Structure 1
Amino acid sequence: MNEERRLTTRQAAELLGVKPATVYAYVSRGQLTSRRDPVGRGSSFDAREVEALARRNRREAATPTGELSVRTSLTLIERDRYYFRGVDAVALASRYAYEEVAEWLWTGALPHGARFAAPAEPLAAARRAVAALPEHSGPVDRLRVAVAAAAVADPLRFDLSEEAVLGSARCLIPTLVGALPEAGPAAWAGDGRMARQLWARLTACEPDPDALAVLDLALGLLVDHDLAASTLAVRVAASARAHPYAAVSAGLGALEGPLHGAAGRLAHRMLAEVLERGGAAPVVAEYLRAGRRVPGLGHRLYKGGDPRAQALFARLDDLPQAGPALGAAREVAEVMARQGGGLHANVDLALAVLTVACGMPAEAGETVFAVARTAGWIAHALEEYQERPLRMRPSGEYHGPRPPQPMP
């Protein structure tokens, strides 16, 4: 009665509704385990394991038409809060460094004092590639080129096992940061945490512990945010079994869009203009007159306020040099509140306060976002590697002329 039920390859294929070759593809991806027949006539499979996989595939197939639903164990957003693996994300990022938050998202473990280090060869390749770009290149341009160069220097990039992907991730993030042009003395970066390494690429202002802590908090808060556009692009690439570097490149490509990655830059410029003109009212008026959206306000997932912005504003309150920019941001929010739209400051506005206060360029917020989110993209790629390949293949709804049409 308790004997384990075994299925032949053909029986497993019939139960799953796939070809026998696909059964072995499931084995290679770790979704099924096989046992060689002692007489050498093929493999057998645990019936319960096959049935569980069949149920999972049926649930995916039952997703309502027109609605893309992706199962994830990484980030939950509800009631104006968000959680990493069930733990309050703001509390986690407030207590632990960016590297530790990334490890939690990847593995569900919190190794104290985790550090990421860039290997010499990929870092040198990334720096050479970035140095060859035109001087006016933006941060995402540089990061995309650095990812491609680092990928070529990693012979293990096609190994999609969890161990190999995590090894690549721990090297890739510091390689991206190290490939960016230095804004301050190299000694400021040292071999410390990612926040310190990144600081030396963002500003010529000397770092102080409180400002570094705010930057580290921002990195931790931005590690992941469920299925944003860039994250979905990463999962589509991973579904096609693109290696992790290529998956991160897909995320960076989506981040280039003005509706996803550019908001921090726009908020920075708006705050700088408010400070220059001595008040928010004329600046906001010009935005509205031109029919432009005032950046840094509102978020479709947080009606009561973005918890990431609230956490950053609370920490910025203790940063003396942030006072003017913080006042400008609050004045913008107050002016807009008179319209009664109920729009709260979002994380882009909070990042803009940090970048303006610390003498960083307008694109610095975009750099912080991309570096931070790379860890989340890797986490989503790891999840997707465990799913059925090419599952994110929607069917097109053709609206062109019906055939046959005359040959042009």
Structure 2
Amino acid sequence: MADRETAQDAGGQRLSTREAADRLGVKPETVYAYVSRGQLTSRREPGSRGSTFDAREVDALARRAPRRDPSPSGGESAIRTGITLIDRDHCYFRGVDTSELAAHYSYEEVAEWLWTGELPPGIRFTAPQDALSAAHQAVQALPAHSGPMDRLRVAVIAAAAADPLRFDLSEDTVVKTARSLIPTLVDALPSHAPKQRAADSLSSRLWSRLTIEPADAAALRVLDAALVLLIDHDLAASTFAVRVAASARAHPYAIVSAGFGALDGVLHGAASGLAHRMLLEVLDRGSAATVVADHLRAGRQVPGLGHPLYPGEDPRAHTLFQLLEDMPQARPALEAARQVITTTARHTELHANVDLALAVLTVSTDMPTEAGETIFAISRTAGWIAHALEEYAERPLRMRPNGQYHGPRPPQPLP
């Protein structure tokens, strides 16, 4: 049949509908949706029962559009990304196992690599003085009872106001913004240690803002590994919010604010705080059995267990538990976590997730309940910037799903 054959003309190769669909990775009917929206041009060949398409035009669309069917309104039903792959019980950044990255590189090195493809050894991020001053003033104006996430949300807005170049979405400028924004967020938090130098690692500066306990090499190693492992995790709720904001061409500070907003939910960034409280209760009562029983009796899920993306143990938790073994002060919290896991395993097969491992770190170092969420937020900022860079290269405003109206049918009387 003519529609299954490739046509040639003086203007170049012509593709049938099926061939165009195969190159785009969509259904044939989607090809005509592209035509109706002006993204492709079709032509009916003499004697043919189907349309043909210019191969160069199809290839150009394939390069800039995900290989998925868009929704009828023009939004995308799936998002193509080259950042994170979750495959069975492994997590990869750009094809590299995240546990291997955490074992060999610092948070700042991995973040820079995700943004630029280069990995300069020993790179340090520093906060510009004008952004840091604005963030400090904004944070100090908050009520005394404000938590770390309150301070981070205010700090990112203040840093944006201090940056006249925030609307420049070129790749180089966005990366420079990221290098300065992350340390600004860390350094804007109140410190429990003497003034630190900009040359200090980001993890050591963050440590002094989470606890008054001194940091030894093993403890800092766990914190830095946690920062690396939490940088990204495919399209989590906060990352999807970031992609939507970036699709509308919001500047980097605004996309981080969007991420913070979604992260604030107890089912996302605050989940480690629930595990923190549970471990404290286990240590206080001396038994995981009674604590687990109380959760189940109240109809609550046991915190820190299970993850929908992993059939077994969360690989991030596995890596952190191994590193926590080298921290003598973590042994009581580690044992409490193991008791929770084994007790729950009698009833259901749930494995530890990264929230439980974070809780072991925060409990054993006398960090506050919110510390895990703070670590998560700082770390994930680098991943959000990586996703923003991807989204800025896509067609703007492409994430526009259809609403399914279920209200009263018109016409209705004036209220």
TM range (shorter): 0.7 to 0.9
Change (3 A) 1:49 1:186: farther
Instruction: Note if contact 2:107-2:225 (Cα within 8 Å) is conserved in structure 1.
Output: yes
Q: 2:56 and 2:168 mapped to 1: Cα distance?
A: 24
Q: How does 1:99-248 map to 2 (within 5 A)?
A: 99-187=108-196, 191-248=199-256
Q: Which moved more, 1:374-383 or 1:285-294?
A: 285-294
Q: 1:207 and 1:349 mapped to 2: Cα distance?
A: 21
Instruction: Note if contact 2:90-2:97 (Cα within 8 Å) is conserved in structure 1.
Output: yes
Aligned residue number for residue 382 of structure 1: 389
After superposition, the C-alpha distances for 1:236-288 in whole angstroms (9 at most, x for unaligned) are 00000000100000000000111111111110011011111111111111111
Change (3 A) 1:330 1:58: closer
After superposition, the C-alpha distances for 1:125-156 in whole angstroms (9 at most, x for unaligned) are 00110111112212221111100000011111
Residue 372 in structure 1 maps to residue 344 in structure 2: no
Instruction: Note if contact 1:233-1:251 (Cα within 8 Å) is conserved in structure 2.
Output: yes
Give the superposition deviation at 1:351: 0.3
Residue 98 in structure 1 maps to residue 91 in structure 2: no
Change (3 A) 1:328 1:52: same
Instruction: Note if contact 1:122-1:153 (Cα within 8 Å) is conserved in structure 2.
Output: yes
Identity of aligned residues (%): 64
Give the superposition deviation at 1:62: 2.0
Q: Which SS does the other structure have where 1:202 is aligned?
A: coil
Change (3 A) 1:58 1:202: closer
Aligned residue number for residue 15 of structure 2: none
Q: 2:297 and 2:67 mapped to 1: Cα distance?
A: 47
Aligned residue number for residue 27 of structure 1: none
Change (3 A) 1:61 1:313: closer
- The partner residue of 2:370 within 363, 369, 373 is 363
One-letter amino acid matched to 1:327:
E
Q: 2:56 and 2:153 mapped to 1: Cα distance?
A: 40
Change (3 A) 1:76 1:283: same
Q: Which SS does the other structure have where 1:312 is aligned?
A: helix
- The partner residue of 1:311 within 319, 337, 352 is 319
Q: Which SS does the other structure have where 1:204 is aligned?
A: coil
Alignment coverage as a number of residue pairs: 371
Q: How does 1:280-359 map to 2 (within 5 A)?
A: 280-339=288-347, 341-359=348-366
Aligned residue number for residue 92 of structure 2: 83
Q: 2:173 and 2:271 mapped to 1: Cα distance?
A: 34
Give the superposition deviation at 1:114: 1.0
Q: 1:351 and 1:132 mapped to 2: Cα distance?
A: 30
- Please list every run of 5 or more consecutive structure 1 residues that lacks an aligned counterpart in the other structure: 6-15, 23-46
Instruction: Note if contact 2:65-2:394 (Cα within 8 Å) is conserved in structure 1.
Output: no
Q: 2:369 and 2:192 mapped to 1: Cα distance?
A: 14
Give the superposition deviation at 1:176: 0.2
Instruction: Note if contact 1:312-1:350 (Cα within 8 Å) is conserved in structure 2.
Output: yes
One-letter amino acid matched to 2:362:
T
Aligned residue number for residue 401 of structure 2: 394
Instruction: Note if contact 1:186-1:200 (Cα within 8 Å) is conserved in structure 2.
Output: no
Change (3 A) 1:49 1:151: farther
Q: 1:170 and 1:351 mapped to 2: Cα distance?
A: 25
TM-score by length of 1: 0.86
- Please list every run of 5 or more consecutive structure 2 residues that lacks an aligned counterpart in the other structure: 1-10, 13-33, 40-53
TM-score by length of 2: 0.85
Aligned-residue CA RMSD in angstroms?
2.4
Instruction: Note if contact 2:106-2:224 (Cα within 8 Å) is conserved in structure 1.
Output: yes
Instruction: Note if contact 2:171-2:389 (Cα within 8 Å) is conserved in structure 1.
Output: yes
After superposition, the C-alpha distances for 1:42-81 in whole angstroms (9 at most, x for unaligned) are xxxxx98754332356756724779831000001000210
Q: 2:135 and 2:402 mapped to 1: Cα distance?
A: 38
